[in-house]
Amino acid sequence: MKFPSFSSTPVLTVLLLPLHLFSGSAQHATVNITSDSYFYGQSPYVAPAALPSGSSESWTTAYAKAAEFVSQLSQEEKSNLTFGVRATKTRCVGFIAPIERLGFKGICLQDAGNGVRLADGVNAWSRDCMLALRFSNDPYLCGVLAAETVRGIQENGVVASTKHFVGNEQELNRNPSTNSQRQKVESISSNIDDKTLHELYLWPFQDAVKAGTGNIMCSYNRFNNSYGCQNSKLQNGILKEELGFQGFVVTDWEALHGGYVAAEAGLDMVMPSGGVFWGSNLTAAINNGSMNASVLDNMATRIIATWYQFGQDLEDYPDPGVGIPRPLTAQHVFLDAATVPSSKQVLLNSAIEGHVLVKNTNGARGLPLQDPGLVSVFGYDAVSPTKNPTQRPSNRNSQIINQTMIVGGGSGANNPLYISSPLEALSQRAYEDNSQLLWDITNVNSTAQVHSASDACLVFINAWASEGYDRPGVHDDYSDALVNNIADQCHNTIVIIHNAGVRLVDVFIDHPNVTAVMFGHLPGQDSGRALVSLLYGEIGPSGKLPYSVPKKESDYGALLSPTPPEGVYWLFPQDDFREGVYIDYRAFDEKNITPRYEFGFELSYTTFEYSSLEIMKVDGSSTDEYPVGEIVEGGQEDLWDVLFHVTASVANLGTVNGAEVSQLYVGIPGGPVRQLRGFSKVDVAPGRLVDLKFDLQRRDLSIWDVVAQKWQLQKGDYKIYLGGSSRDLPLEGALNI
């Protein structure tokens, strides 16, 4: 894995090979490799998975209906279900053509990470757990949020597409390219051993499948030197057999690199078109005997079963692509899903809760602001974009964007209904409390001058990231110089950083006049309103860091930068994940590196105290070495059995209301020092105490046994830690298996 990472049952061969065998290292090759036949066998072949009969009553019904539907189709109609066509009336980025004689209206596929892209008034908001921590490279946290996201999307009959499966950990060489010698360079190969795959990169996908995700999107990269969208080990062996996935697999856009072999490997749908590989070529493969017709039947049935599972066959279900006309200016029904009474407050709350205070000077300086008469504002990030939808920087190597950053770039970008910028919200506050606001946004370097009467100076900077290219660094000299220049002139300098991932702060963090630093992350359209409520103490900050912030870039070692094509693998770039499961706080714990701010860290306007840790085994629960349950969505059903309860209490010792995200960590024998295995956010009034309860499931306490190909409980003592961050853990205990 390369930094940053924000993310990818029975088998024929277990992956116990040394990493150098995955990548065909220089020990085995002394000249440039020019054919991918060199890598054959590094990802084992798994035969096409059997068609599910349904892991639940609803899926069973959906598959019965789908079987009847598909039985009425011609070979060509079945094939047409498996590849996209250009939609003539909508702006769907992917579209499956209708079969009107059977009442099938087609399927619209659309980007929707932060709202439906190109739609008028559809946004996304956070569920309760997202108000505690955000998506990160921690598998447990990412898995909980993935499951919540899947359930939230699908409860309204929309199929969630969980991506990218799997190992999509850098953007450099994510797609084939041509080098300076006009030679084809294949996509990067993420070379991941079986144990690391299951315990780290597969974990959140397993949670998404358990939550019932109807779709999985395979990734651009190769996995152990086999393209992700035609990797039978991943799609047939792991996803459809081991995890019991009920839905269908779709390519990322233009990620298909083979014909019927990809279908046999478990791919069900290709986007945005059949290209040169599928379409008529797929039916030709059946006609000439290259592919069994049952494979196409399986693909079509999975797609139609998913369509039935989410009620998209019902008469009152909207037409595919509703609200996304082609062209956008065409007359159409305006979708107003974003102004339902509850959503506006939830969006604001989500923006508030995403802020993390990491430095604060108590007293007259720092936060919250104490009725300032004059506030001065600096920095390019304080102002609204010049257009909506917002644009990404023209320079792909840019580390910042010259506007307030509310979302990242790429497929997850959207066009919000409005944008409340920090400067606009601060101006409104100045109007309301009769204070004065000065600002200098045009001085985009370190030459800005500060009014000597300023009670507080707010400096706004950002750290940009986008799909399609890797961040060139985790801080920039330009913004650091601006902060230090203002701090040299202002006794109460407060830094707000809108960041898409880790941003180093050590260049200015110890400046005596930098009194507070807050990571605002990607707050969305209510950015300014949310920030002002925090700056002025209307509500206290309670977000937690979903990553560690190191003191220097070298703390990451080789994980800092993406892996380029090099050596004998000039045409077949290799990324060997030699670090295994040791990334982020696991790596810092293992290497005894002290970060500037650890995973799960935050400061509050109050103080919390933990007490009364208790660990109880659930009566009748089995702690046998291996699970024995049937395969359901997510894997063997007893992986989700609760084996232990952990309880404790947290008290608010301060004088203001506060919310605390309590975090449970487990030290599994022989594994990392500690791993997140639970979190809970509670509101605690001053002087009050709140009880906490966590459940530990079998999977939470297991490691992946690469020989048995099962999750395995370890014999011995498990350490239990509870507290406010990965390194602030005042309560410790143990359980024994």
160: domain CATH number is 3.20.20.300
Residue 130 confidence (pLDDT): 45
Assess whether pLDDT exceeds 50 at residue 1.
no
Confidence of residue 17 (pLDDT cuts 50, 70, 90): very low
- For 21, 33, 568, 579, the CA distances from 28, given in Å and listed in that order, are 8, 11, 10, 22
Assess whether pLDDT exceeds 80 at residue 20.
no
Number of domain units in the chain: 3
Residues 506 and 380 in one domain: yes
Residues 108 and 255 in one domain: yes
Assess whether pLDDT exceeds 90 at residue 179.
yes
Across the range 444-461, mean pLDDT stands at 89
Residues 353 and 301 in one domain: no
Across the range 568-581, mean pLDDT stands at 97
Across the range 580-589, mean pLDDT stands at 98
Confidence of residue 133 (pLDDT cuts 50, 70, 90): low
Residues 291 and 362 in one domain: no
d(CA 107, CA 312): 9
Residue 645 buriedness (CB in 10 A; 0-12 / 13-18 / 19+): middle
Look-up of token digits 């045409």: 571
Across the range 424-448, mean pLDDT stands at 90
Across the range 117-126, mean pLDDT stands at 49
Domain assignment of residue 103, given as a range = 19-309
Residues 97 and 176 in one domain: yes
Across the range 48-68, mean pLDDT stands at 94
Q: How many CB atoms lie within 10 A of CB 27?
A: 9
Q: What percent of the chain has pLDDT over 70?
A: 90
Q: Which residues are catalytic?
A: 252
Which DSSP string corresponds to 206-228?
Answer: HHHHHTT-SEEEEPSSEETTEEG
Across the range 689-712, mean pLDDT stands at 99
What SS3 class is residue 355? coil
- Could you report the per-residue pLDDT of 387-431, keeping only the tens digit for each? 876 777 777 778 999 999 999 888 777 778 899 999 999 999 999
Residue 276 confidence (pLDDT): 84
pTM for the whole thing?
Answer: 0.93
Within-domain flag for 72: yes
Within-domain flag for 302: yes
Across the range 220-247, mean pLDDT stands at 98
Higher pLDDT: 325 or 432? It is 432
Confidence of residue 132 (pLDDT cuts 50, 70, 90): very low
Q: What are residue 469's phi and psi, to 5 degrees? A: -155, 155
Half-sphere exposure of 174 (CA within 13 A, CB side): 22
Within-domain flag for 50: yes
Assess whether pLDDT exceeds 80 at residue 452.
yes
Within-domain flag for 586: no
434: CB partners within 8 A, 6+ apart: none
The last residue of a domain, from among 309, 331, 364: 309
Assess whether pLDDT exceeds 60 at residue 214.
yes
Give the pair of three-digit tokens for residue 560. 């800092």
- CATH classification at residue 617: 2.60.40.10
Within-domain flag for 105: yes
Residue type, 610: Y
Q: How many CB atoms lie within 10 A of CB 21?
A: 16
Confidence of residue 346 (pLDDT cuts 50, 70, 90): confident
Do residues 650 and 694 make contact, with C-beta atoms less than 8 angstroms apart?
no
Across the range 359-369, mean pLDDT stands at 92
- Could you report the per-residue pLDDT of 272-285, keeping only the tens digit for each? 998 889 999 999 99
